[in-house]
Amino acid sequence: MTALSRVPLFPLHTVLYPGGRLPLRIFEQRYVGMAKASLRDDSPFGVCRIVRGDEVLSTRDTAGGAAPEFAKVGTLARIETWDMPEQGILHIGAAGGSRFEVRSHTVERDGLIVAELATVAAEPQVPLDPQWKPLAELVEVLAARASAQQFPAQRAYDDASWVGYRLCEMLPLPLSTKQNLLEIDDAEARLASLRSFLAQHGVLS
C-alpha cells in the first residue's frame, strides 16, 4: 500500500469501483470547491459509501463539523468531464481509479472530510475462465442498455476483475453487498458471489 496525504472525501449513497463511471450533480459549496481544486490540480478525491447519515448536511450540521459515517474502503475518482449549466450547479463525470483504505480523517470547518489513506494495489489481471462466460455475456447485455455516462468506453470482457466490477455496478445489489464486493481482493471469488446472487434470483441456472 502507498500512503497519501490530505485527500478530500466525497461520501455518497453509492459504491464506486475501479474503472467505473460516476456522474455527479454538485451544488454544496464544499464539494464545488473540492471539484474545482481537483480540476485545477489534476488530483483525485475519494468516494466512500455512507453507512449512516446524509449526503447533504444542514447549515447547523456543517457549522458543528458533523459528517456522515462512511466505509473505510473506497475508490479514488478523477474528473474527466465537467459542465456548469447554471450558476452554482456543477455537473461532473468522474472515473474510478485505485481502491484505498482510510487511516484517519478530519472534518474541516465547512464540513469537508479530508483523509489520510493508503491505496490498495490493483488486482492482478486474471483471464476470464470459461466458467464465467455467462457473466461476461450478461455484462454485454447490460452495457448495451447503459448510457455513455454510466459505462466505460473501454471494454475488457476477457478480464475477470473488469467483468466483476461492472456487474457489481449494474446489478440491483444491496449497498452493503456492493461494499463487501469492493473489499474482496480475489476476482474469481467476487464472480462466484455474483453468480450465486444471479442463480438465487433465477437469472442464471
Residue type at position 58: S
Domain 130-200: give its CATH code. 1.10.4060.10
Q: CA-CA-CA-CA torsion for 160, 164, 170, 172, nearest 10 degrees?
A: 150
What fold, for 2-120? 2.30.130
Cell numbers placing 101: 483504505
**Tens of pLDDT, residue by residue, the chain (205 residues):** 666 678 999 999 999 999 999 999 999 999 999 999 999 999 999 999 999 887 665 444 544 556 789 999 999 999 999 999 888 899 999 999 999 999 999 999 989 999 999 999 999 989 999 999 999 999 999 999 988 778 888 899 999 999 999 999 999 999 999 999 999 999 999 999 999 999 998 887 6
For residue 44, the SS3 value is coil
Count of CB atoms situated within 10 Å of the CB of 205? 6
- Single pTM value for the model: 0.91
Closest to 89 (Cα-Cα) out of 12, 40, 25, 35? 25
For residue 111, the SS3 value is coil
Closest to 160 (Cα-Cα) out of 18, 49, 21, 23? 18
19: left (phi over 0), alpha (psi -120 to 50) or beta: left
- Residue 144: half-sphere exposure toward Cβ, Cα within 13 Å: 5
* Ranges in the chain annotated CATH 1.10.4060.10: 130-200
- Residue 22: half-sphere exposure toward Cβ, Cα within 13 Å: 26
Q: What is the pLDDT of residue 169?
A: 95
